[in-house]
Amino acid sequence: MERDSGRTGLLGLLRASGAGNTRCADCGAPDPEWASYTLGVFICLNCSGIHRNLPEISRVKSLRLDFWEHDLVEFMKKHGNLCAKAIYEAEVPPFYYVPQSKDCLVLREQWIRAKYERKEFVATSISHDACTSGSREGFLWKRGRDSKQFLPRQFILSARDGVLKYYTKEEIVDWFNAIRAARFHYLRTTFPTAPESELVPKITRSYFKEGYMEKTGPTHKEVFKKRWFSLDSQERNLIYFKDPLDAFETGRVIIGSKEHGYEVRASLPRGVKGRRWKAGLTIVTPKREFVFACENDREQKEWMEALNEIISQPMTA
């Protein structure tokens, strides 16, 4: 009797909308069928496996298969995912990557440990991890240039300089978020008036080269307009925006390979004149020439190098 009422009551609670219990408290997977009866959260099977490794903090039971004592059911009723979120995720930094069910075990485990074991995001916590300041120091196993073996190297991540100088395997998630913290810091100083909600999605973007250039149109007689360009080496795209913070690009140029007739020149085509900026750049494609002007010689050189590196790589199927 009691066993049945306990299970029915708990499942009813689980399905109740508005309690935040219809999704896993840790990864957001739908219809969680497990729960931590010490933390009072409903979680999915995968996350329950991680909780099982933290017996001092979390004890798990299956909603369907295990017996739920009356007092545990009452405890779950009083707590639940929204309640736990208010406590354990009170101060998740904007740059922190919150994993989802599709993410790898390392990311999900570190998220769960950070939340419940280290209590990094509890509001009253005064412990400030080095991670949140955007600076870290330590050893990194870096592959040697010639030996192909991984060698320990000391590296430093500095938010102020915007550079990564190190990491370790054990601390990879800390580093992952430290890098995000550094990038967030960079974006915030570069775009001081932009709201946080616009900057956060940009943390994950990492472009080969970014910056302003002026571009003219297909006839090369159009007025040169200043645009923000981002070169994605993986996708072989040079995309451009009216404003660096625009969500959608204005246009894109696909960067093919030398074998396919692509070429970049540090000049403007004969007879074409830039408006304000004089350091010309022409991307030659089999169909047309794309004409740009860089602010100075250094920018022109950087764009040339970045574009040439992509053009020299053969295209993969």
Interface with Zn ion: number of residues (CB under 5 A): 6
Told to check if 187 binds Zn ion by CB under 5 A, we report no
DSSP helix, strand, coil percent of the chain (3-state; round to 5): 30, 20, 45
Q: Which residue has the tokens 């408006």?
A: 275
Residues 6, 10, 14, 29: which binds Zn ion (CB under 5 A)? 29
Query: Smallest gap, in angstroms, from Cβ of residue 31 to Zn ion?
Result: 11
Nearer to Zn ion, 117 or 309 (CB): 117
Query: Smallest gap, in angstroms, from Cβ of residue 27 to Zn ion?
Result: 3
Nearer to Zn ion, 13 or 304 (CB): 13
State the Cα–Cα distance between residues 213 and 105, nearest whole angstrom. 42
Nearer to Zn ion, 44 or 187 (CB): 44
Listed ranges 3-11, 45-53, 58-66, 159-167: which one lies at the site for Zn ion (CB under 5 A):
45-53
Query: Smallest gap, in angstroms, from Cβ of residue 80 to Zn ion?
Result: 15
Task: Kindly provide the residue ranges of all beta strands, DSSP E only, lying in 37-149, ordered along the sequence.
Answer: 41-43, 60-62, 135-143
Cβ-count burial of 154 within 10 angstroms (0-12 exposed, 13-18 middle, 19+ buried)? exposed
Helix 172-190 to helix 196-203 angle (10° resolution) is 130
Query: Smallest gap, in angstroms, from Cβ of residue 134 to Zn ion?
Result: 29
Contact in structure between 296 and 304 (CB atoms under 8 Å): no
How many CA atoms within 13 Å lie on the side-chain side of 103? 17
Q: What is the DSSP string of 168-216?
A: -STTHHHHHHHHHHHHHHHHHHHSTTS-HHHHHHHHS---SEEEEEEE-
Query: Smallest gap, in angstroms, from Cβ of residue 37 to Zn ion?
Result: 16
CB count, 10 Å around CB of 128? Answer: 9
Told to check if 50 binds Zn ion by CB under 5 A, we report no
Told to check if 60 binds Zn ion by CB under 5 A, we report no
Closest to 132 measured CA to CA, from 171, 180, 172, 170: 180
Listed ranges 24-32, 62-70, 129-137, 230-238: which one lies at the site for Zn ion (CB under 5 A):
24-32
Listed ranges 28-36, 61-69, 205-213, 302-310: which one lies at the site for Zn ion (CB under 5 A):
28-36
Nearer to Zn ion, 98 or 194 (CB): 98
Told to check if 238 binds Zn ion by CB under 5 A, we report no
Nearer to Zn ion, 34 or 184 (CB): 34
Query: Smallest gap, in angstroms, from Cβ of residue 34 to Zn ion?
Result: 9
Query: Smallest gap, in angstroms, from Cβ of residue 24 to Zn ion?
Result: 3
Residues 47, 140, 159, 311: which binds Zn ion (CB under 5 A)? 47
Query: Smallest gap, in angstroms, from Cβ of residue 28 to Zn ion?
Result: 7
Closest to 175 measured CA to CA, from 186, 164, 184, 160: 164
Nearer to Zn ion, 24 or 63 (CB): 24
Q: Which pair of tokens denotes residue 222? A: 């159009």
Told to check if 24 binds Zn ion by CB under 5 A, we report yes
Kindly report each contact of residues 19-23 with a partner whose C-beta sits within 8 Å and lies 24 or more positions away, as own/partner.
19/80, 19/81, 19/82, 20/80, 20/81, 20/82, 20/85, 21/80, 21/81, 21/82, 23/81
Residues 44, 131, 255, 283: which binds Zn ion (CB under 5 A)? 44
Told to check if 27 binds Zn ion by CB under 5 A, we report yes
Nearer to Zn ion, 27 or 179 (CB): 27
